[in-house]
């Protein structure tokens, strides 16, 4: 089976006031169709940068392929959700969700269907005509997810999607994302600093080194995701993988401290 | 209800105090009424002027010059601001000019404008236009630059091209700043329209004020000034109303600016 996402020898240099900063060096990554892959690593290791390069938002040296085609910019095949929601504040919930479908000039009837379906999926039926400033953080993130799904991308790029939410809301949102993924089987690449979240959601976890970042270790996760949260989190496999990933991230963070 | 009545009383009190002190100063001859006419005399003069054509005709001329200049400055200032924020080439060319002329009092070049376009509407509108342009450019530029990259990226990943990004992302994001720029410019527009009329004009409320001042009819001069104050206040209210309507979605709407600065 060919890869959905291929990242080959990707490097990225930023210009900052303190001179050039090497954010990524020789990064390789393959993600298969329908796979849920998480990127974890010490803060500042360039995991978000890698996600933005796959999204086509940042240019970099090296090769990025989606379905064996070279990425040279953003595309509707890759939807994205950011930690800071990035909703359009002048549009209501409904019109935020319909931003993509309207750009594609879908007929009004089809737009209505998409909006109604996704508003039900995220459970914001009574809030569809509110502006983002009237919503809580969790609601905003639901809208951001719905807006991404309305574009019907084949790949979901998630940039610390639940990082700004409180612990309880975060778990609810993780369950919703898991349900959506199990239903739609889209390819997902998620950046997170939460090891538990990565294990709970992904098929595979890639641990990145401290800056300049590259993927140094990979952990497959074989969990039956159809069980309850309690069953998954209390299972031996979950805890075994979680401990291994946690140790790996700590080691990378320690390397960073020693080097600094 | 009680609070809103109390608030209304509080808001009117400074104006009332000024009027009472002013009237007292005139009535008790603390000042020479030949130089500071009493509010009552000004009100009489205003009533007299409003019953004739003089104030109305001249006020409309001034309003036309101020608002036409402001309107043209808004149209072009927004594009200059967007251009500067989005194109480094355009920014490199335009920003030295903006920087050099930003703090220049535009009334200083009125004699030059007279030389170029003569006295009349064109000169007044041009002076107002040049003055209003800069705050609108600066505010628009700021608003466009402050647009978060994640918003632009979100739109791109949903299929927006460069044109759509400009109209549907950068412009709405800059809208609160653009309204701030227009509000600053509105204040300038009256100042410059009237100053230009005082320097050289045959019509307009500025010329009228100047003429009454020259003649020593200070009650009529104050009445003309009062009519400008009222017109400028109403114009600012109207702008605030429009901006509140357009920015219902914005964070500032919760702490409504009308309440804070009204």
- Give helix B218-246 / helix B39-51 axis angle, nearest 10°: 80
Would you give the distance in Å from CA A230 to the centre of its chain? 23
Closest CA–CA distance from residue B240 to any residue of chain A (Å): 18
- B237 in contact with chain A, both atoms CB, cutoff 8 A: no
Closest CA to A71 of A26, A9, A6: A6
CA distance A60 to A28: 13
pLDDT of residue B107: 84
Band of the pLDDT at B190, cuts 50, 70, 90?
very high
Q: What is the mean pLDDT of residues B193-211?
A: 92
| Class of residue A188 by CB neighbours under 10 A (exposed 0-12, middle 13-18, buried 19+) | buried
Q: Say yes or no: B146 contacts chain A, CB-CB below 8 A.
A: no
> What is the end-to-end Cα distance of chain A in Å, rounded?
42
Phi, psi of B217 (to 5 degrees): -90, 75
Q: Which of B157, B172, B250 has the CB atom closest to A74's CB atom?
A: B157
pLDDT at res. B262 = 42
B53 and B31 both lie in a single domain: no
Structure tokens, B230: 């009222």
How high is the mean pLDDT of chain A?
91
Residues spanned by the domain of B9? 1-36
Mean pLDDT of B166-182: 95
Query: How many Å apart are CA B200 and CA B114, to the nearest integer?
Result: 8
Per-residue tokens: B133? 């342009």
Q: How far is CA A151 from CA A37, A95, A104, A136, B176, in A?
A: 21, 13, 9, 23, 28
* More confident site: A19 or B196: B196
B200–A contact, CB cutoff 8 A: no
- pLDDT band at residue B257, thresholds of 50, 70 and 90? very low
CATH code of the domain covering residue B198: 1.10.3720.10
Return phi, psi of residue A64, to 5°.
-125, 125
Q: Which of A253, A218, A222, A227 is nearest to A238 (CA)?
A: A222
For residues B21 and B138, state if they share a domain: no
Interface check A72 vs B, CB under 8 A = no
Q: What is the residue whose two structure tokens read 């390397």?
A: A255
Query: Is the same domain home to B189 and B237?
Result: yes
Mark yes or no for CB contact B158/A90 under 8 Å.
no
Contacts of B154 in chain A (CB under 8 A): 80, 82, 86, 88, 144, 147
Q: Tell me the shortest Cα–Cα distance from A78 to chain B, in angstroms.
A: 6
Structure tokens of B137?
Answer: 């450019």
Per-residue pLDDT of chain A (260 residues), as tens digits, is 578 999 999 999 988 888 888 889 989 999 999 999 999 998 888 899 999 999 999 999 999 999 999 999 999 999 999 999 999 999 999 999 999 999 999 999 999 999 999 998 888 999 999 999 999 988 999 999 999 999 999 999 999 999 888 888 889 889 989 988 988 889 999 999 999 999 999 999 999 998 888 899 999 999 988 889 999 999 999 999 999 999 999 998 888 666 55
Question: pLDDT tens-digit profile of B26-61?
Answer: 888 888 887 888 888 889 998 888 888 888 889 999
Number of helices and strands in chain A (H, E): 9, 10
- Which pLDDT score is estimated for A15? 85
Predicted confidence (pLDDT) at residue B201 exceeds the cutoff of 50: yes
Query: A213 in contact with B at a CB cutoff of 8 Å?
Result: no
Angle in degrees, 0-180, between the axes of helices B54-86 and B171-199, rounded to the nearest 10 = 140
Check residue A259 and give its pLDDT: 57
For B126, phi then psi, to 5°, come to -65, -45
Question: And the tokens for A21?
Answer: 């900063």
Give percent above pLDDT 90 in chain B.
Answer: 64
A131/B157 Cβ within 8 A: no
Q: Are residues B167 and B197 in the same domain?
A: yes
Which residues in chain B touch residue A131, judged by CB atoms under 8 angstroms apart?
248-249
Residue B150 has its nearest CB partner, among A84, A90, A148, at A84
Query: How far is Cα B248 from Cα B258, in angstroms, rounded to an integer?
Result: 13
Tokens representing A213 are: 């970042």
Q: What is the pLDDT of residues A92-136, one digit of tens each?
A: 999 999 999 999 999 999 999 999 999 988 889 999 999 999 999
> Using a CB-CB distance cutoff of 8 angstroms, which residues of chain B are in contact with residue A78?
157
Which residues in chain A touch residue B158, judged by CB atoms under 8 angstroms apart?
Answer: 76, 79, 99-100, 103, 147, 151
Q: How confident is the model at residue B252 (pLDDT cuts 50, 70, 90)?
A: confident
| Domain A33-57+72-77+153-259 superfamily per CATH | P-loop containing nucleotide triphosphate hydrolases (3.40.50.300)
Token readout for B44 is 């009489």
- Region B189-218 average pLDDT: 92
> Do residues B47 and B151 both lie within one domain?
yes
Let me know whether B2 and B48 are in one domain.
no
Domain chopping of chain A, boundaries: 33-57+72-77+153-259
> Which residues in chain B have Cβ-Cβ distances shorter than 8 Å to A55?
153, 157
Residue B19 and residue B120 in one domain: no
ipTM of the complex, rounded to two decimals? 0.92
To the nearest whole Å, the CA of A170 is away from the closest chain B CA by 21
Q: What pLDDT sits at residue A257?
A: 63
Answer whether B86 touches A (CB < 8 Å). Answer: no
Strand, coil or helix: what is A130? coil
Question: What average pLDDT score do residues B189-201 get?
Answer: 92
Strand, helix or coil for residue A61: strand
Q: Indicate which of A87, A99, A106 best probes the interface with B, i.e. most B CBs within 10 Å of its own CB.
A: A99
**B98 and B136 fall within a common domain:** yes
Contacts of A53 in chain B (CB under 8 A): none
* Predicted pLDDT of residue A221: 94
Domain count, chain B: 2
Does the pLDDT at position B259 exceed 70? no
pTM above 0.90, yes or no: no
Q: In this complex, do A75 and B157 lie within 8 Å of one another by their Cβ atoms?
A: yes
Q: Strands, DSSP E only, in chain A?
A: 3-16, 19-32, 36-40, 61-66, 69-70, 78-82, 155-159, 187-191, 204-208, 215-220
pLDDT for B12 beyond 60: yes
Question: Could you tell me which chain B residue has the CA closest to the CA of A104?
Answer: B159
Name the one residue in this structure whose structure tokens are 């003429």.
B211
- A232: contact with B, CB 8 A cutoff: no
Pairing of strands A204-208, A187-191: unpaired
What's the CA gap between B181 and B187, in Å, rounded?
A: 10
Q: Do residues B136 and B181 touch, judged by C-beta distance below 8 A? A: yes
pLDDT at B1 over 70: no
A153: contact with B, CB 8 A cutoff: yes
């Amino acid at each position: 089976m060919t890869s959905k996402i291929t990242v080959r020898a990707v490097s990225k240099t930023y210009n900052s006031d303190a001179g050039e900063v090497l954010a990524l060096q020789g990064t390789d990554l393959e993600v298969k169709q329908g796979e849920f892959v998480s990127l974890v690593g010490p803060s500042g290791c360039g995991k978000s940068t890698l996600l933005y390069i796959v999204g086509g938002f940042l240019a970099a040296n090296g090769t990025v392929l989606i379905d064996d085609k070279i990425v040279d910019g953003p595309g509707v095949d890759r939807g994205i959700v950011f930690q800071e929601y990035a909703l359009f504040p002048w549009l209501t919930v409904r019109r935020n969700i319909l931003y993509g479908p309207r750009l594609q000039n879908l007929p009004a009837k089809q737009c209505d269907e998409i909006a109604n379906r996704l508003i039900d999926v995220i459970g914001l039926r009574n809030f569809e005509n509110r502006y983002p400033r009237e919503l809580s953080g969790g609601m905003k993130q639901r809208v951001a997810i719905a807006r991404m799904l309305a574009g019907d991308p084949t790949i979901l790029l998630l940039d610390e999607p639940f990082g700004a939410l409180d612990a309880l809301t975060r778990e609810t949102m993780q369950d919703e994302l898991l349900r959506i993924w199990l239903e739609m089987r889209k390819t997902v690449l998620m950046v997170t600093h939460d090891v538990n979240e990565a294990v709970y959601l992904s098929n595979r976890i890639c641990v990145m080194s401290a800056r300049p970042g590259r993927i140094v270790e990979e952990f497959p996760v074989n969990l039956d995701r159809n069980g309850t949260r309690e069953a998954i989190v209390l299972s031996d496999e979950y805890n075994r993988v979680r401990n291994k990933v946690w140790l790996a991230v700590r080691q990378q963070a320690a390397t960073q401290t020693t080097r600094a | 209800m009680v609070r809103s009545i109390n608030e209304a009383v509080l808001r009117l009190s400074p104006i009332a105090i000024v009027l009472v002190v002013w009237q007292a100063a005139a009535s008790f001859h603390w000042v020479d009424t030949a130089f500071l006419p009493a509010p009552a005399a000004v009100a009489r003069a205003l009533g007299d002027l409003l019953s004739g054509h003089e104030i109305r005709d001249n006020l409309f001329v001034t309003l036309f010059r101020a608002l036409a200049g402001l309107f043209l400055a808004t149209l072009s200032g927004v594009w200059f601001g967007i251009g500067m924020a989005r194109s480094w080439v355009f920014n490199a060319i335009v920003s030295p000019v903006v920087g050099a002329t930003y703090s220049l009092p535009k009334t200083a070049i009125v004699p030059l404008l007279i030389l170029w376009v003569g006295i009349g509407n064109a000169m007044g509108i041009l002076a107002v236009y040049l003055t209003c342009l800069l705050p609108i450019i600066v505010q628009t530029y700021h608003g466009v630059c402050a647009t978060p990259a994640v918003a632009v990226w979100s739109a791109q990943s949903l299929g927006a091209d460069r044109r759509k990004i400009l109209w549907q992302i950068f412009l709405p994001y800059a809208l609160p700043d653009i309204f701030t720029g227009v509000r600053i410019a509105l204040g300038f527009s009256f100042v410059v329209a009237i100053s230009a009329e005082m320097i050289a004009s045959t019509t307009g409320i500025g010329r009228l004020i100047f003429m009454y001042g020259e003649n020593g009819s200070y009650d009529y001069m104050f009445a003309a000034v009062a009519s400008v104050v009222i017109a400028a206040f109403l114009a600012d209210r109207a702008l605030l109303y429009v901006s509140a309507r357009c920015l219902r979605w914005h964070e500032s709407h919760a702490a409504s600016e009308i309440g804070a600065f009204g």
